[in-house]
Structure 1
Amino acid sequence: MATVIQKTFGDISLDTDVKGDISSSDNSGLVMDGIDEDIIDPWTVVSKSATGVDYDKLIARFGSSKIDQNLIDRIEKVTGKPAHHLLKRGIFFSHRDMHEILNSYEKKKPFFLYTGRGPSSEALHLGHLIPFVFSKWLQEVFDVPLVIQLTDDEKFLWKNLTVEEARHLALENAKDIIACGFDVEKTFIFSDFEFIGMCPAFYQNMIRVQRGVTFNQVKGIFGFGESDCIGKISFPATQAAPSFSSSFPFIFGDKKDIPCLIPCAIDQINKYAFSGGGATVEEHKEKGGNCDVDISYQYLRFFMEDSDRLDEIRKDYSSGELLTGYLKKELITILQGIIAEHQERRKTVTDEVVKQFMTPRKLKLNL
Structure 2
Amino acid sequence: MAQIDVANMEGDIDYDTIMKEFGVEPFDRFLPQMKKSHLLFRRKIIFAHRGFGHILAAMHGKKPFAVVGGFNPSGNLHVGNKIFMDQLLFYQDMGGQVFIPISNDETYVFGKTDKLESATDCAMKTVIPNLIALGLDPKKTKIFISTKTSKAYELAVKLSAKTTFSSVKAIFGFDNQSNPGKIFYSVMQTAHILFPQLEEYGGPKPVVVSIGIDQDPYMRLARDLAEKIGFEKPSSTYNRFLIGLQGGKMSGSKPHTAIFLDDDEETVRKKIIGAFSGGGASLKEHREKGGNPDIDAACQYLKFGFEPDDKKLEEIFAGYRNGSVSTGDVKNLVIDRVTAFLKQHHNNVEKARKQVDKFLIAP
Task: Calculate the TM-score normalised by the size of structure 2.
Answer: 0.78
Residues 189, 280 of structure 1: alpha-carbon distance in 2 compared, 3 angstrom cutoff: same
TM (norm. structure 1) is 0.77
- Residue in 1 aligned with 2:176? 226
Match for residue 162 of structure 2 among 206, 212, 218: 212
- Equivalent-residue separation in structure 2 for 1:40 and 1:243 (angstroms): 19
Distance 1:193 1:233, change over 3 A: same
Aligned to 2:33: 74
SS at match of 2:101: strand
Partner of 2:310: 307
- Cα distance in 2 between the residues matched to 1:239 and 1:309: 40
SS in structure 1 of the partner of residue 142 of structure 2: strand
Higher helix fraction (1 or 2): 2
Residue correspondences, number: 304
Partner of 2:7: 43
Matches within 5 A, 1:91-170: 91-121=45-75, 123-141=76-94, 143-158=95-110, 159-170=112-123
CA distance in 2 between partners of 1:179 and 1:295 (Å):
25
Match of 2:133 in 1: 179
What value does the CA root-mean-square deviation take over the aligned residues? 2.2
Question: Does the C-alpha gap of structure 1 residues 270 and 220 become closer, same or farther in structure 2, counting only changes over 3 Å?
Answer: farther
Relative to structure 1, the CA distance from residue 263 to residue 246 in structure 2 (aligned partners, 3 Å threshold; closer, same or farther) is closer
Comparing 276-285 with 89-98, greater Cα deviation is found at 276-285
Q: For the residues of structure 2 that align with 1:181 and 1:162, how far apart are their CA atoms?
A: 30
CA contact (8 A) 2:73 2:127 kept: yes
**Among 80, 87, 90, the residue aligned to 2:41:** 87
Q: Judge conservation of contact 1:241–1:247 (CA < 8 Å) in 2.
A: no
Shift of 1:266: 4.4
Percent identity over paired residues:
31
Amino acid at match of 1:182: L
- How far does residue 237 in structure 1 lie from its aligned partner after superposition? 1.0
Counterpart amino acid of 2:27?
I
State how far apart, in whole Å, the 2-side matches of 1:246 and 1:145 are. 9
State the Cα distance separating 1:148 from its structure 2 match: 0.3
1:161–1:266 distance in 2 versus 1, CA, 3 Å: farther
Unaligned runs of 5+ in 1: 1-37, 362-367
**Kept after mapping to 1: 8 A contact 2:65/2:206:** yes
Contact in 2 for aligned 1:67/1:92 (Cα 8 Å): yes
Which residue pairs with 2:238 in the alignment?
none
Q: CA deviation at 1:221?
A: 2.7
The amino acid of 1:112's aligned partner reads: A
Which secondary structure state, in structure 2, belongs to the residue aligned with residue 149 of structure 1? strand
CA distance in structure 2 between the aligned counterparts of 1:296 and 1:245, rounded to whole angstroms? 37
Which residue, 194, 212, 215 being the options, matches 1:244?
Answer: 194
Structure 2: unaligned runs, 5 residues or longer: 215-240, 248-275
